[in-house]
Chain A
Amino acid sequence: MKDLKSILENEILSRVNKPLRYVGTEYNSVKKEWNKVKLRTLFAFPDLYEIGMSHLGLRILYHLVNEQPQYLMERVFSPWTDMEQALRERDIPLFSLESYRPIAEFDCIGITLQYEMSYTNILNMLDLGKIPLKANERKNEYPLIMGGGPCAYNPEPLADFFDFFVLGEGEEVILEVFETISSHREKHNGRQDKKILLKELAAIKGVYVPSFYKPIYVDGVLIEVQPTKPDVPRRVVKRVVQDLDKAYFPLKPLVPYTEVVHDRIMLEVLRGCTRGCRFCQAGMIYRPVRERSSEVLERQAKELIKATGYNEISLTSLSTSDHSNIKPLLKSMLDKYEQDRIGISLPSLRVDAFSLELAKEVQRVRKTGLTFAPEAGTQRLRDVINKGVTEENLMEVTTAAFEAGWTQIKLYFMIGLPTETFLDLDGIVDLAYKVLHNGMRILREGGRTRQAKITISVSSFVPKANTPFQWEKQDTLEQLKEKQRYIKEKIKDRRINYNYHEAELSILEAVFARGDRRLNELLLKAWEKGCKFDSWSEHFRYNLWLEAFQELNMEPQELANISEEFDRKLPWEHLNMGVTKAYLWQEREKAYQTVATEDCRYQSCTTCGICQDLGVSMVLERK
Chain B
Amino acid sequence: MKAVNRRVSVSGLGSAMGELPSGTGTGTVRKQALLNRTVRYALQAVNYAGLLLLVLVFALPFAWMMSTSLKTLPETMIFPPEWIPRSPVWQNYADAWNTGPFLHYFTNSIIIAAGILILQLATIIPAAYAFARYKFAGSGFLFGIVMVTLMIPAQLIFLPVYLELSAWKLLNTHLGLVLPFASSAFGIFLLRQAFMQVSDELVEAGRLDQASEWKIIVHIMVPLAKPVLVTFMLFSFIAHWNDYFWPLVMTTNETARTLPIGIAKIREVEGVATWNTLMAGNLILVAPILVVFFFSQRQIIRAFVYNGVK
A and B assemble together: no
